[in-house]
């Protein structure tokens, strides 16, 4: 996982004991919003953050809001609070965020059924929280109009939370889009890896695209326009899959049952040199052929390493370009409805 540290403060306050700096926050281009484990914040500090209210279907308009956030590996359930969030010197003020597993409200049955795995501990999440910097501005725009299952709830008591519509300005928000500058997207830059991986890697998370000398797009980038949900298409071995570029996935996830697999990992007998074709969501998108490698997952993970660029995992429905895709590249994620040069977001470039 790629990690950063973030600082969370009571909105509008910067004095002693008003902020908490949390390390090992996972950087995730596949989700939107800041989510922090209550155990990492500490219950006393978490209780001081203002509670989000104002659900569209709440008859009182004052009931606290909670969210069931679904990920590929499980769900996070928790209260929505507001805080000033600072990352690398940039601050998103009074931002709605999720305090994971704060114990305030019983998990609704539909969240338990759809999410399956509770990610409410460091061991299960693999991090102290998630920094979601995907291409959207809010995590569930459709929830502004519809009562979505396993999404937003207003909680009238500790044991009673009800599905609700949620206004956009009260939803979990992309912190980058809420910066006052360098707020049109992000750039993740990680070094290339040797065969077999590396013990650890240090890279860069840079805010803005084309706003500073260190975040300019290359003159001829590979550019992949995204649809309104952040997806494009990947064609692999003659089959086309809905696809995303997701730094929050620790492997490339795709379907190829000509390759042996064991548990979560593909286990080819030797390293395979493969390729797939990315096609953007607009009619004029230029297809991009992307080479990638696939190595025996259990052999890789027998090493005491943290960084691998050839780890693959079998799946059936999507082609997810995970963290292995990022090594040796500068990967840009442009936020929805921004204009960068002649291109309108959302898009991925590398």
pLDDT at 222: 97
pLDDT at 115: 84
pLDDT tens readout for residues 230-256: 999 999 999 999 999 999 999 999 999
Residue 16 has pLDDT above 90, yes or no: no
pLDDT at 13: 83
Mean pLDDT of 257-269: 96
Q: Is 72 helix (H, G, I), strand (E, B) or coil?
A: coil
Strand order in the sheet with 185-190: 204-207, 185-190, 329-334, 347-349, 223-225
Token pair in block for residue 307: 């960084």
Rounded to whole angstroms, how far apart are CA atoms 18 and 45?
8
Residue 15 has pLDDT above 90, yes or no: no
Among 136, 348, 349, 350, residue whose Cα is nearest residue 226: 348
pLDDT tens readout for residues 38-55: 999 999 999 999 999 999
Token pair in block for residue 183: 């707020």
pLDDT at 14: 75
Mean pLDDT of 156-168: 97
Rounded to whole angstroms, how far apart are CA atoms 204 and 279?
27
Q: What are phi and psi of 128, to 5 degrees?
A: -85, -5
Mean pLDDT of 140-146: 96
Beta-bridge mates of residue 188: 205, 331
pLDDT at 81: 98
pLDDT at 304: 87
Mean pLDDT of 274-291: 96
Arithmetic mean of pLDDT over the chain: 96
Percent of the chain whose predicted confidence (pLDDT) is above 90: 95
Residue 63 has pLDDT above 90, yes or no: yes
Rounded to whole angstroms, how far apart are CA atoms 321 and 233?
11
For residue 198, the tally of other CB atoms under 10 A from its CB is 16
Go through the domains of the chain in sequence order and give each one's CATH number. Answer: 3-178 (2.40.70), 215-349 (2.40.70)
Mean pLDDT of 43-71: 96
pLDDT at 130: 98
pLDDT at 75: 97
Rounded to whole angstroms, how far apart are CA atoms 323 and 246?
7
Which residues, 6 or more positions from 333, have their beta carbon under 8 angstroms from its beta carbon?
Answer: 29, 133, 134, 135, 185, 186, 187, 188, 245, 346, 348
Which residues, 6 or more positions from 339, have their beta carbon under 8 angstroms from its beta carbon?
Answer: 345
Mean pLDDT of 172-195: 97
């Amino acid at each position: 996982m790629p990690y950063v540290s973030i600082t969370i403060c009571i909105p509008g306050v910067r004095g002693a004991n008003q902020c908490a700096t949390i390390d090992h926050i996972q950087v995730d281009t596949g989700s939107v919003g800041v989510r922090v484990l209550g155990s990492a914040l500490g219950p006393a500090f978490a209780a001081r953050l203002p509670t989000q209210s104002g659900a569209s279907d709440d008859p009182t308009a004052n009931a606290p809001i909670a969210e069931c956030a679904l990920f590929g590996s499980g769900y996070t359930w928790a209260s929505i609070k507001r805080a000033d969030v600072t990352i690398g010197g940039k601050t998103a003020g009074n931002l709605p965020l999720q305090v994971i597993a704060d114990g305030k409200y019983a998990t609704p049955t539909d969240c338990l059924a759809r999410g399956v795995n509770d990610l409410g501990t460091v061991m299960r999440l693999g991090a102290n929280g998630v920094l979601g910097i995907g291409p959207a501005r809010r995590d569930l725009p459709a929830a502004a109009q519809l009562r979505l299952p396993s999404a937003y709830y207003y909680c009238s008591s500790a044991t009673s939370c009800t599905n609700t519509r949620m206004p956009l300005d009260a939803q979990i928000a992309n912190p980058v889009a809420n910066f006052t500058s360098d707020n049109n997207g992000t750039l993740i830059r990680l070094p290339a890896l040797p065969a077999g991986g590396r013990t650890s890697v240090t890279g860069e998370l840079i805010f803005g695209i084309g706003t500073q000398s260190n975040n300019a797009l290359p003159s001829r980038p590979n550019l992949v326009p995204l649809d309104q949900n952040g997806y494009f298409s990947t064609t692999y071995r003659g089959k086309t899959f809905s696809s995303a570029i997701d730094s929050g996935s620790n492997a490339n996830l795709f379907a190829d049952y000509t390759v042996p697999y064991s548990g979560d990992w593909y286990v080819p007998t030797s390293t395979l040199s493969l390729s797939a074709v990315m096609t953007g969501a607009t009619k004029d998108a230029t297809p991009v052929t992307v080479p990638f490698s696939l190595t025996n997952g259990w052999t890789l993970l027998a090493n005491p390493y943290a960084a691998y660029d050839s780890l693959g995992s079998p799946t059936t429905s999507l082609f997810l370009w995970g963290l292995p895709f990022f090594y040796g590249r500068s990967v840009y994620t442009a936020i929805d409805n921004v204009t960068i040069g002649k291109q309108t977001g959302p898009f991925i470039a590398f």
